[in-house]
Amino acid sequence: MNLDQVLYILKTEFPDKAIDLSESLELIKEVLNDTMNSINHKSNDAFTKRDFAARRQYDDMAVFIHDYEQQIDQFVANLSVEAIDLANEDHDTDEETEKNKIPNYADYMVDFNVEHTLYENFTHKRPFAFRINEKQLIEVKTWQEMLKKTAELLLTIDSERFLAFEHMPGMNGKKNKYISTKQEGIRKPQLILDKVYIETHMSGNGIRNILLKMLKAYGFKATDYKVYFRADYTELNQD
């Protein structure tokens, strides 16, 4: 069995796992991109100090990592999760599915004072709140609400920069728009401050990935954004 056959079976028989895999790879891409930026700073610093041996070492690292970036890009493209159409048009988000399955909500509550980052797995989790740069805590009930309120904050900071996301390939899917001034091409559009629509038909990890891209475009670090969980349903979803 070759890779194409494996991917075909994943997409047709295990679409939820194909989506999880694609979203995890997107997160790896973001981390690798951050790593490349850090290497670039080190390389430039080495050049300034005329430490050419170190400069060559950093350049070699960058070439090595870039090769893996390209392989991941190709793998994600071959996986073509968007063709799954999120399993089907009636596919529930993690939160909607869990809401129907939870026997006792209180049993799965967690300490909402514990800080989490955007580099964590949000599958089977429910959010309680988030904050940026130690600003006021903003409470939310769903990942979709967290995306909406974060988008509102960023739009308030710089609306032109946010509206430019519509034309940035990395901010949109290959077939569907995630951010647009028009509703067309968005499965479940949410209007933000009467200016732009964002896609909300995404899992917690899908929202995590687009938040990372938005924050980076505004010059925020991933660690500037803190997330607080309300509940963790992982135990209920173990096979």
What pLDDT digit, counting tens, does each position of 160-219 carry? Answer: 999 999 998 778 877 778 999 998 888 899 999 999 999 998 889 989 999 999 999 999
Closest CA to 169 of 236, 89, 77: 77
Residue located via tokens 């890009």: 73
Query: pLDDT at residue 144 above 50?
Result: yes
Separation of alpha carbons 33 and 31, rounded Å: 5
Separation of alpha carbons 108 and 126, rounded Å: 10
The overall pTM is greater than 0.85: no
Query: pLDDT at residue 93 above 60?
Result: no
pLDDT of residue 225: 95
pLDDT of residue 97: 54
In this structure, what token pair is assigned to residue 158? 């710089």
pLDDT of residue 100: 56
- Residue 161 DSSP label: H
16-45 tens-digit pLDDT: 777 778 888 888 888 888 899 899 999 999
User: 134: burial class by Cβ within 10 Å (0-12, 13-18, 19+)?
Assistant: exposed
pLDDT of residue 226: 95
pLDDT of residue 217: 92
